[in-house]
Structure 1
Amino acid sequence: MIQGALDNGMRVVLLPDEGPQVAAIYLWINVGSCDEPAGFEGAAHFIEHLVFKGTEHLAVGECAGKIEAMGGDLNAWTGFDETMLHATVTSAHTADAVGVLAEMMRRATFDATELERERGVVIEEIRGGEDDVGLVVGEATYATVWPGDPYGRPIIGTARSVRTLDRDALIAFYRSHYVPANACICVAGHFDAAAIRARIEQEFAGGPPAPRRDHAPRAEAVRGGLHRIRRKLDTHVVRVAFIAPCATDVAAPTFDLLAASLGGCSAAPLVSALRAMPGCFDASVDYEAESRAGLLVIEAHVAPGAEDRALNLITETLAGITTHGIDRGDLARARASLAAERRFRRQTVDGRAHEACFYQELFGDPGAWRSYDARVAAVSDEAVNEAAAGVLRAEEAAIIALTSKRAKLAPSWAPSARSAMPTGMVRHRLASGATLLLEPDESPIGAIRIVGLGGQLSETARRAGRAALWTRTVARGGGGLSADALGRAAAGLGGSVGAAAGRSSQALRAEFPAESFGSGLELVLHTLLDPTFAPQEVEQARAAMLDDLAARDDDPGERLYTAVWAAACPGHAWGVDPAGTAASLIRLNASALQSLHRGWARPENLVVAVTGDVDAEYVKSRVEYAISKLKPGPLAATLAPITRPTEPRRLSLRSARDQAHLVVAWPGLGVRDPRAATLDLLIELLSGQSGRLFLELREAEGLAYAVSAESVEGVVGGLITCSMASDPARLDEAERRLLETVGRVAAGEIRADEVERARAAVLGAVEAELQTAGARASEAAFAERYGLDGAQYRTLLHRVASVTLPQLTALAAECLGTPLVVGRLAPR
């Protein structure tokens, strides 16, 4: 670590290493919503948008375009007390990325036309947030606890406040607050430290002093009471918030451990009690530590009518904890889980850069994470229990209930007392018919993926959602261990076991610290051989899926996307809703899940990939032995080809939401098609912040708040989709312009500079993705099972670099001609 400061006071932290050819640049600016004067709410977030809209030397879209041309990604966010601009690029472009961030922080032009266009985008973002349950209940919590305080205001502002933000006032605020003396820059990854330090000095020298942060005194927090928000929703949320220390408080490590003990893993006492309750679909416990305030928050998502039961269960569980203390086993698992979580975060350059900024600006030392980890490790069990007894008093809890208008809460309820790149892959064809891929390296994390064909290919209309239900239940008990016992065992080892399912496959997955990987491997293999599918776990997971279906109206874009897939793949498993239907989910039970599991867990259907600092011989012997115990059975997946619609189809859906969405689908490629790298470039050319769709439809014309393109490739074919969220009054125009934009690409109107921008972005994304052991294991396992070479991800960079413009135009002409489906959703 190299740290210091420029003459103007700007803090500089460099974290060079010899890892993958990727670097992250994080620019932390000490300005957020709490710095906004009254009547100026939302200014910091608005400015975060505007710095992307042109600078003295870069036109609209060029900031993102340059970063993507460097093989990178550019993003930003605004908090209560800080704004972060950050980019991740391939190592050769680190210095130039520093220059782009300097342009954004120091030389944004606030073009009047772009400002008005972006004002509309932000207002549309605020409107969209009204249907985001997490955002609504989060903002309501802070408004309830700190009324009249900057922490009680929405970071994004309100539609009314954003409409009144004056350009001159915004420029004055920008010039006084977004200055080097008020910022910290951290660079992490593979780069030349001397060269980057010189570039930072060149770009950030000079400037005015940092502004005085004249925050009003912290308002007295409101403790206790029940506060209701009424919305027309199918899922209700209850939140219980307790005042907690801020991030820099000496007690913060104790509260990190307290939150982890209550809800850091599925076996934690409070979360496990809530999730076992009928009518509760999900639960969590979080320590939300800001720089000057903190909350410990318990949240439960419940069915209408279950609010009282959830609140009473929280009260009863906390009463037991404050009286008798937290079980030492739960505390031990929380310590392991918290330590592992922080280690996982430091695998990537982004994680390390963000962490260094945080500790530099809040603690004055970018390396303070080491002492913080030591302080967490030194917290005694007694200290955690004392904190629980002192804070978790129900009479001081602020209760926030997000319910529908018809829901009633019983009035009788009241509160009472760094990782190396792979060095070599070895493929083993096991006697059972399975394939084992072993790729030992120096990663501190060991990862395993067990992949087989299945997923949506195992679905029919009658059993729709079976694979999704499998993912929620297969790791909830196995090998004689209950769900709680398995969760406690995994958390105690500092890792986790989970599952995933997609269009063509399904998988078990797990990561554990290298030193406990052997024991973690045994948990995964127990899950593979003998999943429990306990009826109560199946029923709870099914109830959660039914609740998700009922809430589909709260996400009209997802509803339309699902309908477009059904229209593009008529009569095929891919046209079935992967989330299931109310009728199909009711039919599913433990027997149906066992049948699916047996059809998937056939030895000849499985590829096992293991990466990280693991004992290869031990892994091989244990995997070989375990898979030999599996019994062959009929393959669950049906590999029938897709029959496409003979004529373009149009869908028209309606929603109660004041939103409009558009999804257009074209035929894509199968996963085995050798032109996969060309397709990656084509999708990137359309999407991204400097892609055709974003620049033309969002930036130039303001037609969409969100616009994107994606491709899904599977063993039976593929589908390309473009999606937009638009103003309902402009939906016809949005459809016309999207089809025109894509049509020009299909006609071969592709510039060489666009191709190079897309190429750099894809290359950078690959470099960044493959930093973690889990990502490498996933790439290897899925490729191998799809009939490709499990080690092919190593050659992906070369294949992307080799794509030519004629190849790209030929593929665009083939795939992006007449759409298969045009789907529209508008207000009723």
Structure 2
Amino acid sequence: MAYFAKIRLTQAWLIGLLFLLILPCNVYAQEDDLKHFTLPNGLDVFVKEDHARKVATIQIWVKVGSADEELSELGISHLIEHMAFKGTEKRGVGQIASELEALGGETNAYTSWDETVFHVTVPSTGVSQGLDILTDAVFRPSIDPDELNKEKQVVIEEILEGEERPERKASKLLFHTAYEVSPYKYPIIGYKDVVAGFTRDNIIQFRKKWYVPENMFMVIVGDIDPNQVRTDLEKYTADLKQTGFFRPPRPSEPVQKEIRGAVLRDRNSRETRLYVAFHIPSLSSPDVNAIDLMADILGARDSSRLVQTLKKDKGLVNSISAYALTPKKPGLFAISATLDGKNLETVTKGIMEEVAKLQKQPPSAEELDRAKTHIESQHIYARETVQGMARSIGSFEADLGDASYEEKYLNLNRLITPEQISATAKKYLTPPNVTVTVLIPEDVEQDFQIEKLTGVVKHFGASQTAQTAAAGKEAAAIVRTFPNGLKVVLQPDNSNPAVSFRIAMMGGKRFETKETEGIMNFISQMLDKGTSKMSEQEIAQKVEDMGGRLNGFSGYDSFGVYATFFSRNTDEGLEMLARIYTDPAFPEDKLERERNLIINRIKTEPDRPVQYTVNVLNQTVFKDHPYGFVKEGTLATVAGFTADDLKQTYERFAVPANTVITGVGALDPEKTMARIEQLFGKLEARQFVPPVVPAEEPIAKVRENVVQIPRAKAHIAIGFRGVSVSDEDRYPLEVLNNILAGQGGRLFLQLRDKESLAYVVTSFVRPAVEPGLFGLYIATEPSKADTALKGLFRELEQVKSQPVNGAELERSITNLIGNHLISLQSSWNRAENSALNTLYGLGYDYDKEYIAKVSKVTSDDVMRVARKYLELDHCAIVKIMPEKDA
């Protein structure tokens, strides 16, 4: 469950809101593939068949969000979202999640300013049951008073968790400052005191007003039969009636007549966060296409102007981006940056200078085409999952009343001229229509005043006045091992005009030492920063011209580079990957910039409490083994690495005998294999001798590690030595983890739902090349820390002492398999799985074996591995606690 404000096109974390690509080619689905019908009760339903994936997603959109709430109701939409899965007239608490997981499905919901959305994704065999479950949950929740009180505590925990996250505080400050009248100024999740006061009657009355068929619609996408869907829905919603719904008007935000600014000091933050934001119109405006492209040009990509100038060239920011927030009512164009506080004035001036340049001089045709290509690529990648397709359809229908608007949007996008970009920048990105907010660490820049930045911005105000056809059966993969030892696996899939490649090598943390901790991550960060013949910017622009993404990666046991391109650019993409693999330059100027970024991430690690807790747990479980290292390294090691260190380490590992290349997508396998052989097959054959890895002694007794940092909550983790990826115990251990984790898992149902100890509680299993980790995590109020820890141990004791019943075991196995199938929708993920499974000796098609072996896990297997691995006297306990004076 989540809440967010919808951001248009430029933010990767909302890629699900992006649109499907419509091109004049028989590979793409046509608009008439989107079917629409209205049920007798007035509920609109949109159905899209996609038989390329054997899954389907079902979404119910309610056109009410936090912006429709009265002041006394702030946060009620989000609370109602939570209560939908807390039982119905015929399903008890926990039964909804349990039934869905038994189908192999997953469920969640989110609340935004304008909508509340409930969704499930299931294998195609479970569509009818999924429709039954979701309609029951949304239309007939029981709103049990006891469960409501528990869920209010969970939401309050969520509110408190947000209050300790610097990025959420910074966002909250921006919207509360930028808006004076619009309800967008209030946080979607609401306020602690307001949420605490909600009663069952409040919930029922709000639902009675807004949760009516005329104010809702459904989207179903995937491997479905539309006629059967209609028949099922008519049965499952037969009791719903039209009500004569009337939508009350919202207050309108007045024109901003003076520059606004605000600053907040935060004791939890370790880096400064800056926002420069401008009011822009809603999604319905004819300027939206130019605004989206303007955001892309300024700050959505590695080669965008602000990223190139302020981050890469001058090193003034740790991160910077621009995005357009265009919801149902007028939104914001925001430029956000994280930086050292001493650079605030310089960065603000730099932002406004780039805006001024765009106003004075239209972008080149080439730069604008690159932005259009980038947006086009997002459309293609969004449709690799049924969830992405459904969310795109739903967003247009909810905000514009036009579920098929995507084609119009893309056609308009192609017609935008450079002159329109400059005209739009002049129209909207000009003071006094600007708000500047800063979140700054409590102990730095003590003399800072926001007027320093509003004065910088004011100066610029003065100077500026005046689709696809249904896929056939899965095509066969082809596998080759070249004479030099390089392994290649290619898996054609013509359901989408994209192709993903991954070059993977054994490496990662496992082959580091205390002196080289972090070097693999540093190498991966540098792989796309230039070759002897191509600069970083040339690489970035080339990738964007191909509609692509390209990055290095590093993990526990491997490292390398991955990329996705339009399939029409396969040859060019492979050529670039070959250059990067064979000739990375590790340029000195980029080395220092990346070093500073990595050091900043190490210093700010406590700002990411979940990852920080897991890192401390790793260090506690693996005292001698490199699995205990932090991926980014230490301040000392990272500060000492030279370009030669990186290059020599890379060359030691980047040999064909230690390399696997995989490709998945719309490719010609024979032609692509021949091209890979040209580019990689003639590389020198060299022996690869892996480093010796120190052995890790078993945990002889409980290891406890207590860390005190400025935090509002307690973060607790328990860790056990786990299994390797090739261990047969992996399968029952993953089933055991599924029994404990997830919304239908024991930890969630008992410690969150019944005892209201936390908003976040879960378990996780991480098999590795060598035995990895099995862990549990909970975030709770400090006063509840001991109770929460005892609760985790109590659940572990129970799973060791009492056999899992047949229904729970079946649900867990089906859910695990269903989630695995859902994760394999995109070519990106399949290329990754294929590469790592091949590299680790499991086989490129290991996914089938994994599913088969998980299916055979028994209750006895689960109890056996629970007793074998979850020894409570041989574990690590980590407590991240607030400082005593906090």
TM over 0.5: yes
Kept after mapping to 2: 8 A contact 1:453/1:504: yes
State the Cα deviation string for residues 454-496 of structure 1 (Å, max 9, x = none).
1101322222222222222211222521111110110011001
| Residue 749 (1) aligns with residue 803 (2) | yes
Counterpart of 1:414 in structure 2 is 456
Counterpart of 2:22 in structure 1 is none
Q: Tell me the SS of whatever aligns to 2:736.
A: helix
Counterpart of 2:527 in structure 1 is 474
Instruction: Report matched runs for 1:691-730 at 5 Å.
Output: 691-730=745-784
Q: Tell me the SS of whatever aligns to 1:607.
A: strand
Question: How many angstroms does 1:429 deviate by?
Answer: 0.7
| Residue 326 (1) aligns with residue 363 (2) | yes
| Residue 229 (1) aligns with residue 284 (2) | no
Kept after mapping to 1: 8 A contact 2:348/2:456: no
Counterpart of 1:823 in structure 2 is 878
What letter corresponds to residue 375 of structure 2 in structure 1? L
CA gap of 1:467–1:402, structure 2 versus 1, over 3 A, is same
Counterpart of 2:251 in structure 1 is 217
| Residue 782 (1) aligns with residue 836 (2) | yes
Question: How many angstroms does 1:636 deviate by?
Answer: 6.4
Kept after mapping to 2: 8 A contact 1:663/1:723: yes
Counterpart of 2:351 in structure 1 is 314
What letter corresponds to residue 265 of structure 2 in structure 1? R
Separation of aligned partners in 1, 2:408 and 2:191? 40
Counterpart of 1:571 in structure 2 is 624
| Residue 792 (1) aligns with residue 810 (2) | no
Counterpart of 1:612 in structure 2 is 665
Question: How many angstroms does 1:80 deviate by?
Answer: 0.6
Kept after mapping to 1: 8 A contact 2:102/2:810: yes
Question: How many angstroms does 1:559 deviate by?
Answer: 2.6
| Residue 687 (1) aligns with residue 741 (2) | yes
| Residue number among 483, 490, 493 corresponding to 1:438 in the alignment | 490
CA gap of 1:748–1:504, structure 2 versus 1, over 3 A, is farther
CA gap of 1:316–1:736, structure 2 versus 1, over 3 A, is same
What letter corresponds to residue 715 of structure 1 in structure 2? V
Separation of aligned partners in 1, 2:709 and 2:167? 21
Separation of aligned partners in 2, 1:384 and 1:421? 44
Which deviates more from structure 2 when the two are superposed, residues 642-651 or residues 265-274? Answer: 642-651
What letter corresponds to residue 261 of structure 2 in structure 1? L
State the Cα deviation string for residues 98-130 of structure 1 (Å, max 9, x = none).
122212221112211111111111111111111
Separation of aligned partners in 2, 1:409 and 1:593? 42
CA gap of 1:166–1:148, structure 2 versus 1, over 3 A, is farther
CA gap of 1:446–1:602, structure 2 versus 1, over 3 A, is same
Kept after mapping to 2: 8 A contact 1:253/1:372: yes
Counterpart of 2:434 in structure 1 is 397
What letter corresponds to residue 320 of structure 1 in structure 2? K
Which deviates more from structure 2 when the two are superposed, residues 581-590 or residues 393-402? Answer: 393-402
Instruction: Report matched runs for 1:58-97 at 5 Å.
Output: 58-97=91-130
Question: How many angstroms does 1:446 deviate by?
Answer: 0.6
| Residue number among 60, 63, 67 corresponding to 1:34 in the alignment | 67
Percent sequence identity over matched residues? Answer: 25
Kept after mapping to 2: 8 A contact 1:748/1:812: no
Separation of aligned partners in 1, 2:317 and 2:348? 11
Which deviates more from structure 2 when the two are superposed, residues 729-738 or residues 414-423? Answer: 414-423
Counterpart of 2:275 in structure 1 is 239
| Residue 165 (1) aligns with residue 217 (2) | no
Q: Tell me the SS of whatever aligns to 2:767.
A: strand
Counterpart of 1:272 in structure 2 is 308
Kept after mapping to 2: 8 A contact 1:271/1:285: no
Q: Tell me the SS of whatever aligns to 1:478.
A: coil
Instruction: Report matched runs for 1:121-132 at 5 Å.
Output: 121-132=154-165
Separation of aligned partners in 1, 2:289 and 2:576? 30
Question: How many angstroms does 1:372 deviate by?
Answer: 1.4
Separation of aligned partners in 2, 1:644 and 1:626? 45
How many pairs does the alignment contain? Answer: 828
Separation of aligned partners in 2, 1:641 and 1:423? 43
Kept after mapping to 2: 8 A contact 1:665/1:820: yes
Question: How many angstroms does 1:315 deviate by?
Answer: 1.3
Which deviates more from structure 2 when the two are superposed, residues 732-741 or residues 268-277? Answer: 268-277
Counterpart of 1:250 in structure 2 is 286
What letter corresponds to residue 26 of structure 1 in structure 2? Q
TM-score (norm 2): 0.91
Instruction: Report matched runs for 1:185-584 at 5 Å.
Output: 185-205=218-238, 206-209=240-243, 211-222=245-256, 224-232=259-267, 233-276=269-312, 277-405=314-442, 406-407=444-445, 408=448, 413-415=455-457, 416=460, 417=463, 422-442=474-494, 443-584=496-637
CA gap of 1:593–1:579, structure 2 versus 1, over 3 A, is same
Q: Tell me the SS of whatever aligns to 1:39.
A: helix
Separation of aligned partners in 2, 1:460 and 1:783? 25
Kept after mapping to 1: 8 A contact 2:45/2:219: yes
Residue ranges of structure 2 left out of the alignment (5+ in a row): 1-33
Separation of aligned partners in 2, 1:694 and 1:57? 21
What letter corresponds to residue 129 of structure 1 in structure 2? G
Separation of aligned partners in 1, 2:107 and 2:836? 28
| Residue 804 (1) aligns with residue 858 (2) | yes
Kept after mapping to 2: 8 A contact 1:145/1:221: no
Which deviates more from structure 2 when the two are superposed, residues 533-542 or residues 207-216? Answer: 207-216
CA gap of 1:595–1:269, structure 2 versus 1, over 3 A, is same
Counterpart of 2:153 in structure 1 is 120
Kept after mapping to 2: 8 A contact 1:268/1:488: no
Instruction: Report matched runs for 1:590-739 at 5 Å.
Output: 590-627=643-680, 628-629=682-683, 632=686, 635=689, 638-739=692-793
Question: How many angstroms does 1:420 deviate by?
Answer: 6.3
CA gap of 1:471–1:409, structure 2 versus 1, over 3 A, is farther
Separation of aligned partners in 2, 1:661 and 1:378? 51
State the Cα deviation string for residues 209-239 of structure 1 (Å, max 9, x = none).
2632213331215352332122122111111
Residue ranges of structure 1 left out of the alignment (5+ in a row): none
Q: Tell me the SS of whatever aligns to 2:586.
A: coil
State the Cα deviation string for residues 269-318 of structure 1 (Å, max 9, x = none).
12211212324111111111111122211111101211112111111111
Kept after mapping to 2: 8 A contact 1:274/1:300: no
CA gap of 1:143–1:657, structure 2 versus 1, over 3 A, is same
Kept after mapping to 1: 8 A contact 2:345/2:456: no
Question: How many angstroms does 1:799 deviate by?
Answer: 2.5
Kept after mapping to 2: 8 A contact 1:534/1:590: yes
CA gap of 1:317–1:425, structure 2 versus 1, over 3 A, is same
| Residue 183 (1) aligns with residue 216 (2) | yes
Q: Tell me the SS of whatever aligns to 1:227.
A: strand
Q: Tell me the SS of whatever aligns to 2:483.
A: coil
Separation of aligned partners in 2, 1:470 and 1:293? 43
Separation of aligned partners in 2, 1:394 and 1:317? 14
Kept after mapping to 1: 8 A contact 2:68/2:250: no
